[in-house]
A and B are shown apart, each in its own frame.
Chain A
Amino acid sequence: MTNNKCKQGIAVFSVLASVLLVGCVAPQQRLYQWEGYQPQVYEYLKGQGNGPEAQIAVLEKDMQKIRAKGGTPPPGYHAHLGLLYSQIGKDDQVLQQLRTEKALFPESTAYMDFLLKKFEK
């Protein structure tokens, strides 16, 4: 009988244990939809990609996927697009992307204003 009770104890423990363990590794909901953002940033930084047009094409296509799912692009996504547009002289797109970054992430205001000021001159 003592044995039985201990078995019960172990059963209770198992349940507790699994609850605890789940608490450790619970998959958290992601805040953003990343798509190809980081690989594209790497391509850009390495300077060995297919040029700004190809990178814009990838990011704009991914942006449509993000919108279709009702998701949010990660911090920097629109600003990075702005950087790419600046390299092919599409100034109106640059301004629009930087303003979108600022609207989505007010934390970026100071830096976006710094860039916008340089660009609007």
Chain B
Amino acid sequence: MRLKTLLKLCVPLLVAILATGCVTSKPYDYTAFKQSRPRSILVLPPVNSSPDVNATYSMLSHVTYPLAESGYYVLPVALVDETFRQNGLTNPGDIHAVVPAKLKEIFGADAALYITVTKYGTTYMIINSVVTVSANAKLVDLKTGQLLWEGSATASSDEGNNNSSGGLVGMLVTAVIKQIANSVTDAGHAMAGTTSQRLLSARPNGMLHGPRSAQYGKD
């Protein structure tokens, strides 16, 4: 009996601990998202509230990947930007103010993604420099104007230091990553790639999988 009791205690408890690592606590309400079932996403040029003027186009050029690989059709971002330009809209703030029905009429997309870049660039400290890119996003149904999902994400060249107390190897890895990150001319752009992945690839509490994914309807 004692054996069984022990087993009963050992296994489920440990499994539970592990599973907790996978699943995050507060579930997102996907009712509107699941009702809308968007197939195509129009990504509007991101509003930039950071001091770096490159942030808008840097982020815009990264976002197709996580969305498309999650199963959505993403309208060609440069061509969309050009269409806005030809209609006299060059400021992301003005573009974000266009009514959903008008966007639907021109682009025919099911949903639009409104991104704001809140941090983009390098913070210099005494013995260290840290590259951080943060952004938030809202997915809006273009037929109804309803909010389907919103979220935010951040990526930083410093995170290896905080997270892993991985001893010597950990420190070495961190040092190498830093060297790479800081040696590329546009370190912010590389970091924006990580931020866009975290922000927009399908995951718990994040975007759901789209119709072109094998995971569609399973999350």
List the interface of chain A (C-beta within 8 A of B). Answer: 1-2, 5-6, 9-10, 12-13, 16-17, 20-21, 23-24, 28, 30-32, 34, 37-39, 41-42, 44-46, 74-76, 79-80, 82-83, 101, 105, 107-111, 114-115
| CA A6 to CA B107, docked complex, whole Å | 62
- Assess whether A5 is in contact with B7, with CB atoms less than 8 Å apart: yes
Q: Enumerate the 4 nearest inter-chain pairs by beta-carbon distance, A residue then B residue, closest first.
A: A110-B108, A76-B76, A107-B73, A42-B61
**CB closest residue in chain A, given B108:** A110
Measured CB to CB, the closest approach of chain B to A27, in angstroms, equals 12
Total chain B interface residues with beta-carbon distance under 8 A: 44
- Which of A9, A23, A31 is within 8 Å of B11, CB to CB? A9
| Contact yes or no, B68 A31, CB < 8 A | yes
- Nearest A residue to B38 via CB reads A107
With a CB–CB cut-off of 8 A, which chain A residues contact B172? none
Which chain B residue shows the least CB distance to A1? B3
Q: Which residues of A contact B107 (CB under 8 A)?
A: 110-111, 114
* Residues from chain B with Cβ under 8 Å of A115 in the complex: 79, 83
Residue of B nearest to A39 (CB): B61
Alpha-carbon separation in the docked complex, A82 to B79 (Å): 9
Task: Name the one of A2, A31, A46 contacting B2, with C-beta atoms under 8 angstroms.
Answer: A2
Kindly supply a per-residue 1/0 record for chain B positions 94-115, scoring 1 wherever the CB is within 8 Å of any chain A CB and 0 otherwise: 0000000000001111100000
Asked whether B2 lies within 8 Å of A24 as measured between CB atoms, the reply is no
A46 touches B10 (CB 8 A): no
B76 touches A101 (CB 8 A): yes
A79 contacts B76, C-beta separation under 8 Å: yes
Contact A75 B57, beta carbon cutoff 8 Å: no
A-B contact count (CB 8 A): 120
- If A5-B7, A9-B10, A111-B108 touch, whether A76 touches B75 (CB-CB below 8 Å) is yes
Given contacts A5-B7, A20-B19, A75-B72, 15 further A-B contacts (CB under 8 A): A2-B2, A5-B6, A6-B7, A9-B7, A13-B10, A17-B18, A21-B18, A24-B21, A38-B61, A38-B64, A41-B60, A46-B57, A79-B76, A111-B107, A115-B83
Tell me the smallest distance from the CB of A65 to a CB of chain B, in Å. Answer: 17
Indicate if B129 sits at the interface (CB-CB under 8 A).
Answer: no
> Which B residues lie within 8 Å of A42 (CB)?
57-58, 61-62, 189
Query: Across the interface, which residues of A come within 8 angstroms of B3, CB to CB?
Result: 1-2, 5-6
Interface assignment of B138: CB less than 8 Å from any CB of chain A:
no
Task: Tell which of A21, A23, A75 has the most Cβ of chain B within 10 Å.
Answer: A75
A42 to B188, CA, bound (A): 13
List which B37-87 residues lie within 8 A (CB) of chain A: 39-40, 54, 57-58, 60-62, 64-65, 68-69, 71-79, 81-83
Q: Which of A6, A9, A80 is in CB contact (< 8 Å) with B78? A: A80
B65 touches A16 (CB 8 A): no
* A75 near B68: Cβ-Cβ < 8 Å: yes
Chain A neighbourhood of B69, CB < 8 A: 28, 30-32
